[in-house]
Amino acid sequence: MLFAGLFGLTCCVAAQAAQNISKEEVKHFKLTKVGEISIAETGGSISSPSDLHKEISKRADDKGAKYYVIIAAREHGPNFDAVVDLYK
């Protein structure tokens, strides 16, 4: 029973995470740009594309964005960096 409750809570939280979309989707759905973020960590704290997406989604959520478009991304040594536009 406890596991089912925790699983349900996890699903609800994950459903609220900002989503990566394309520039075409921004135009099609006429989304409003609400800002831009830059991710540039050191020390290998963002060491994979999945780590990068998690961090982008978290920061987008913190800024109230529902969607994001990655404008530029790169692997820099043990880290992944990105510049991202945020949308509602």
57: tokens are 């989604």
Predicted confidence (pLDDT) per residue in 33-44, tens digit: 999 999 998 888
Q: How far is CA 64 from the centre of its chain?
A: 11
Please give the C-alpha separations between residue 28 and each of 21, 39, 56, 73, 78, in angstroms, as whole numbers: 11, 27, 22, 24, 36
Does position 1 have pLDDT exceeding 50, yes or no? no
Predicted confidence (pLDDT) per residue in 58-76, tens digit: 999 999 999 999 999 999 8
What pLDDT, on the 0 to 100 scale, is given for residue 15?
56
pTM (predicted TM-score): 0.79
What pLDDT, on the 0 to 100 scale, is given for residue 9?
40
